[in-house]
């Protein structure tokens, strides 16, 4: 699977799904889509009510030339909320700052009331921030509900087979108090 090698070369190992789960998703999960060109790679979930960006990679030779923005604008044309996970900013890892800047520049905002923690393939707990863009206002409860569906249908897709454990929303997602529902 050529796209997996591209992902491995850019994303932190603990953020990557296994190669087998990714192949399984692409072959057997109808909502999981891939858009791939020489310049860009997008893996995403196309749910009835929202989109979830699992991975977005722009080739290093064309970064900063508007390709990523074009991909995001195409997604926005679906006229439904777009959710994604972003590593928290780490000054010693400039890519984390670049990703956050990119998404904010394109209108994404952090969901400060939804906490996402999961145990990676290496047994280490990883914290990711949820960012979203929406043509309408979303409540933290709606964001949590969308992310719960992502956990069930993408992150948890055949997770027992691929990781030896179930990935369930109640184990990785939390609503922080107080919450405006």
Determine the pLDDT at residue 97. 85
Provide the domain limits for residue 109. Answer: 3-175
Torsions phi, psi for 101 (to 5 deg): -60, -45
Residue 36 domain-assigned (yes or no) = yes
* Cα angle, residue 72 at apex, residues 136 and 8 outer, rounded to 5°: 125
Residue 95 domain-assigned (yes or no) = yes
Residue 157 domain-assigned (yes or no) = yes
Determine the pLDDT at residue 161. 92
Residue 128 near residue 174 (C-beta atoms within 8 A)? no
Residue 181 domain-assigned (yes or no) = no
Q: Provide the CATH number for the domain around residue 101.
A: 3.40.630.30
Determine the pLDDT at residue 178. 66
In 3D space, the residue among 4, 17, 1, 12 whose CA is nearest the CA of residue 156 turns out to be 17
Residue stretches of the chain with pLDDT short of 70 = 1, 120-122, 178-181
Determine the pLDDT at residue 1. 45
Determine the pLDDT at residue 125. 81
Residue 139 domain-assigned (yes or no) = yes
For the chain, what is the domain count?
A: 1
Determine the pLDDT at residue 138. 96
Global pTM reads: 0.92
**Given CA atoms 112, 119, 142, 79 in this order, what sign does their dihedral have?**
positive
Determine the pLDDT at residue 181. 54
């Amino acid at each position: 699977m050529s796209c997996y090698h591209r992902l491995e070369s850019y994303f932190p190992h603990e953020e990557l799904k296994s190669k087998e789960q990714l192949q399984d998703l692409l072959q057997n999960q109808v909502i999981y889509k891939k858009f791939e060109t020489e310049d860009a790679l997008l893996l995403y979930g196309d749910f009835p009510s929202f989109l979830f960006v699992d991975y977005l990679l722009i080739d290093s030779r064309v970064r900063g030339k508007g390709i990523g923005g074009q991909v995001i604008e195409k997604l926005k044309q679906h006229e439904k909320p777009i959710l994604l996970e972003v590593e928290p900013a780490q000054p010693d890892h400039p890519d984390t700052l670049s990703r956050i800047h990119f998404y904010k520049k394109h209108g994404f905002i952090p969901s400060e009331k939804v906490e996402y923690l999961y145990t990676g393939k290496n047994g280490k707990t990883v914290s990711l921030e949820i960012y979203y863009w929406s043509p309408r206002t979303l409540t933290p409860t709606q964001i949590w509900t969308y992310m719960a569906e992502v956990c069930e249908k993408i992150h948890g897709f055949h997770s027992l087979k691929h990781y030896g454990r179930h990935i369930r929303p109640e184990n990785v997602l939390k609503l922080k108090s107080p919450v405006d529902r």
